[in-house]
Amino acid sequence: MTGETFRAFREWFWRPPRPHGATIPDRAVTFLELFYDLAYVAVISQAAHHLADEVTPRRIAEFAVVFAMIWFAWINGSLYHELHGRQDGRTRTFVFLQMGILALLAVFTSGAAEDDGREFAVVYATLFAVLGWLWYSVRRQDQAQYRALTGVYVTGMAISVAVVLASSLLPVDARLVVWASFCVAWLVAFVVFGRIPEFEVAMAPTHSMVERFGLFSIIVLGEVIFGVVDGLAHADHDAVTIATGLLGLFVGFGFWWSYFDIIGRRLPRPAGPSVVTWLLSHLPITMAIAAAGAAMASLVTHAHDAVSPAVTAWLIGGAVAVGFVSLVPAALALDDARRLPEVYRKIATTMVAGAAAALAVAWLQPMPWVLALLLAGILVIVWLVAIGRFLRAHAWREAEVEASPEAPDLAQG
């Protein structure tokens, strides 16, 4: 390799990150990002496994805290790549470094709320330290108007590392309280940042950002399939059990239809508060789907019971309800909601009614297969009403991805 070739290689391989404001509007999600998300499949699967082993109120709370921590790690890594990543060796190196840390984090995730909490905290703090360094490297490239904002963000990352690392020294219950407070603090921070004018410019929504959040939703939808398969693998393979499992799958299918046909592939309004509302709504949406998946194994295991176990029924019914309610602010934050306000208001009302119906089904605690059937039916009815609203408003656009140019695409709203 000649000196000139080596210099050219070095300049390509280790380029600085893109500064704030250097958004690529037509950027496509890369294979590197898809590979990165596979590491989160392992982490989320372990978190769900802890809940699936024993569905209790305490474990549901533990799952919520651990899942939220995982989500905030994912969003920091994903938004960094979306806003500042390149197709160079430096970006790839740091993505693979994060994936290595995430693989180790997955080892301790199942027991994060119990005996492996200390190890989980140390590894998580290490991951946040790497992410904090990446955001600091952006600040060094930023124009003066963004440096103050990035500086505050990096300071928040440093405080997060210190807090999570310190939590490793605490007893289990105190550690969980600290982690829950950590997640609440990040929620508040995003809301505050969303009101800063520089944030609005730096976080201009793009189709690749929307696609990335959709792909994360696909990851958690996979937990529904895993939960059903795990339940069927450890239960008798009779007609009632298999039917319960398949109906459980239809609950997952209903989540998919509701998410991707109501908010999927649609841009949020470019205003900062709208972007933050859309972004943060994905935390309860994805958490609800993953929790429902974790409960599927319990549902299948109790397929022959006269009534569904109370905690399992409330977890699955509550997950559907939380999913619906969380879709409301996400939908109303869309740019399409400004174009079709009446359509989206009626869809929002329908989703709230669907949430109430899901909670009523959970309260009834019918047989497991009936529970799954009723919840799947509620998801289908809400979807039909939403699509009916779009159709009556002639609100579809030509397909961009899946359908032919001549066909109307309902998923584009």
Terminal Cα-to-Cα distance of the chain (whole angstroms): 54
CA-based torsion, 29, 32, 38, 44: positive or negative: negative
Tell me the per-residue pLDDT of 205-247, one tens digit each, with 9 for 90 and over.
888 889 999 999 999 999 999 989 988 888 888 999 999 999 9
CB 254 within 8 A of CB 384: no
DSSP state of 413: -
pLDDT above 70 coverage of the chain, percent: 95
pLDDT at 167 over 80: yes
State residue 234's pLDDT score.
82
Residue 392 — pLDDT band, cuts 50, 70, 90?
A: confident
State residue 404's pLDDT score.
38
State residue 405's pLDDT score.
39
How many angstroms from the chain centroid is the CA of residue 115? 26
Residue 403 — pLDDT band, cuts 50, 70, 90?
A: very low
Query: DSSP characters for 129-181?
Result: HHHHHHHHHHHTTS-HHHHHHHHHHHHHHHHHHHHHHHHTTS-HHHHHHHHHH
pLDDT at 345 over 90: yes
pLDDT at 308 over 60: yes
Phi, psi of 366 (to 5 degrees): -70, 180
How many Cα neighbours within 13 Å face the side chain of 335? Answer: 14
Tell me the per-residue pLDDT of 373-384, one tens digit each, with 9 for 90 and over.
999 999 999 999
Which of 95-109, 184-198, 249-263, 318-332 is predicted with the least confidence, judged by mean pLDDT?
A: 184-198
Tell me the per-residue pLDDT of 111-139, one tens digit each, with 9 for 90 and over.
999 889 999 999 999 999 999 999 888 88
pLDDT at 170 over 70: yes
Q: Where are the alpha helices (DSSP H) in 14-88?
A: 31-53, 57-84
CB 112 within 8 A of CB 47: yes
pLDDT at 413 over 70: no
Selection from 310, 323, 391, 396 nearest residue 354 by Cα: 323
Residue 9 — pLDDT band, cuts 50, 70, 90?
A: confident
Please state the length of the chain.
413
